[in-house]
Structure formats: C-alpha cells, structure tokens
Amino acid sequence: MAKKTRNEFEIISHSLTNCKIFLVNIIYRTAHTHREFEVCLLLDGEVTVDYQGKKDLFAPGDVWVVNPYQSHGLKAKKSALILTLQVSSAFFNSYYPQISNIEFLALLSDRVYRSIPMDLLRKSFMDIAFTFFKRLNRFELKCTGMINAFFDYLLEYYPHKAVTEKEKNRSRNKELRIRAISEYVDNNFCKKLLLSELAKKENLTLSYLSHFFKDSFGMSFQEYLLRIRCEKARQMLLLTDYTLLDISISCGFSDVKYFNKGFLKWYKCTPRKYRTQLDHEDVNEQKKSLLTEQQFLSDAASITILKKHMHFTSLKRANPLA
C-alpha cells in the first residue's frame, strides 16, 4: 500500500486478482481516492462519509458505494467497524466491460434507501467475507462467483447511471484536480493564499476556478481555507500549550480577532472556550479524531468479529430505515 498523505491516492495490492476484502476499525481517514469500486458495510458505530463537501451519516447495517477516483474521507466519534470490498472494473472486463462506465449513486436519501433490499445485500456481503477470510479449498473460485452475484444485486437494485468515456475521463480529471487543489491548500494554509494565485498555478481563469471550487467542495475558496485553518488551530489547541496569538499566526490568520470569528463559525464557540471546556476523557477522544487512524484486522480476528455480527446475515432482519 502506498505511503499515506493528506488527500492521498491509495494504491491497493490484491490477494485476489483485482479485488480485496478487509475488516477495519477506523476513527478517521483523510480524503483519498483509489482505482477500485469500494463497497462498505458498517457493522458497528457511526461514521460520517465526506464526498467533496457533501456529507452523509451512516449507522450499523448501512451499505454505501464509492466509485473509482471519487474523493472521500471518513470520520467517526469513536472507532467504527467497517467491512470493505474493493473491486477493480478489470475484475469484470472479460465478460462485462460496460461496468467501467457505471457510476453508482453514493449518497442515498431515506426514500431511495428504503427501496433497496438491504437484507439481501448484507447477507451476500457477509457470505463473501466469511468465505474469503476462512480461505478454505478453492475459496478464490467461490469468492469470484459470489462477488459477481453481489455486483449483479447492486446493478439490479442500487441506484446508478451509465456514463460515456468522455464523462468518465472528465470525472477522473476533476478528481485529480480536486486532489491537487486540496493538497496545495493543505500544504500552504499558513501563508497568505489567493484564489487568483491558485488559478494561475492550475492554468485556469479565476471565474472558472471559483465556480469549480464551489461546485466541487460545496463552499467558496475562502470558506474552505477558513475551515482548514480552523481545523489546524483545533489540533494545536488540543495538542499544544501555545498561546492563542501563536496559534493564530501559525495557522495563517491575520489577527486573533479573525481567528476567534472564524473558529466561532465552525465550532460554535471561541478557541479559548474550546480549550477549557473539555474534560480529560473528551480531550483523549478529540485527540484521536486528529489522526488518520485505522486498524486492519487479520483473517483470524476478522472471522471472530464477524461471528459477533451474524445478525447481518439474517434475511428476516428489518430494514432500520423502513
């Protein structure tokens, strides 16, 4: 797996050709992209998935799909347990090449969610996982057939659309540009940043980049920059004993007054109050949330944990959103 960086591009090495299944405990995962379709089943905890400024909160039993090259990040208040299947479109190319032009709807409304036979998807997903982690004789053949059936269920029931090659390339180029912009802001937030400078760097007009930023991040460039600066300041409030003035300067704020105003907007309290109002236990949890923290579980541990979540294999389990 490639070295992790903020807004990183993730390279996946597969134990089965063009696919991987794993169980992970996660608190925070920085925005990243990968070449595969990623299907996730949340087994325990709650997690917020951020798709370029659009957020959705998932609860145990929820299933969501991330498309190739789609930037996404995850955050949980406490450790969340997620079963993940990553499959490249190359997995299906010899017999269903059109899947490379399929785009699944990642964010689901309650109305759309109710129309999906979630019990069927959950059971199929869990069956694949048990077969994979047990690694019995010919498990590769069994997993391959089960994954094909699972994606057939997704294409039958999960909202999706067909995209042209032109649209696919445009989407990929957009994701790469989003990643480049995110990395630039994240590496230079402590300096004076102007959208005009970023437009020049990306060889774009100021007007185009302004609209692109609003469409891609769900907020203006200045709002996004303020959010990044406030998050960096939040980290320093928790992890250091620096004065508010030092933190303000380190995070690129022009003065403490602007720092206070911006922090109040994002966290609904002043920096001073934020630092003093948390008790020790809360601080420890908050400190965890500052880190890209995820723990991949071994096959043996995965089997043991999955057995504790056998209720997800029951087709009689009611849809929690129905």
The owner of tokens 């303020």 is: 226
Mean pLDDT confidence for 237-265: 92
SS3 content of the chain, % helix, strand, coil (to 5): 50, 20, 30
The owner of tokens 């999955």 is: 306
Q: Is the pLDDT of residue 5 over 60?
A: no
Domain with CATH 1.10.10.60 in the chain: 200-289
Q: Is the pLDDT of residue 8 over 60?
A: no
Residues 119 and 317: beta-carbon distance below 8 Å: yes
The rounded distance, in Å, linking the Cα atoms of 1 and 267 is 34
* Overall size of the chain counted in residues: 322
**Predicted structure pTM score:** 0.69
pLDDT band at 290 (very low <50, low <70, confident <90, very high): low
Residues 26 and 79: beta-carbon distance below 8 Å: yes
Q: Is the pLDDT of residue 91 over 50?
A: yes
Give buried/exposed letters for 241-257 (b at 16+ CB in 10 A, else e): eeebeebbbbbbbeeee
- Does residue 76 or residue 2 have the better pLDDT? 76
Q: Thinking of the domain 8-164+293-313, which architecture would CATH place it in?
A: Sandwich (2.60)
CATH code for residues 200-289: 1.10.10.60
Q: Is the pLDDT of residue 285 over 70?
A: no
Tokens of 213: 């930023």
Over the stretch 95-146, which tens digit does the pLDDT of each residue have? 999 999 999 886 665 556 667 788 888 999 999 999 999 999 999 999 999 9
| 3-state secondary structure labels for all residues of 27-54 | EEEEEEECCCEEEEEEEECCEEEEECCE
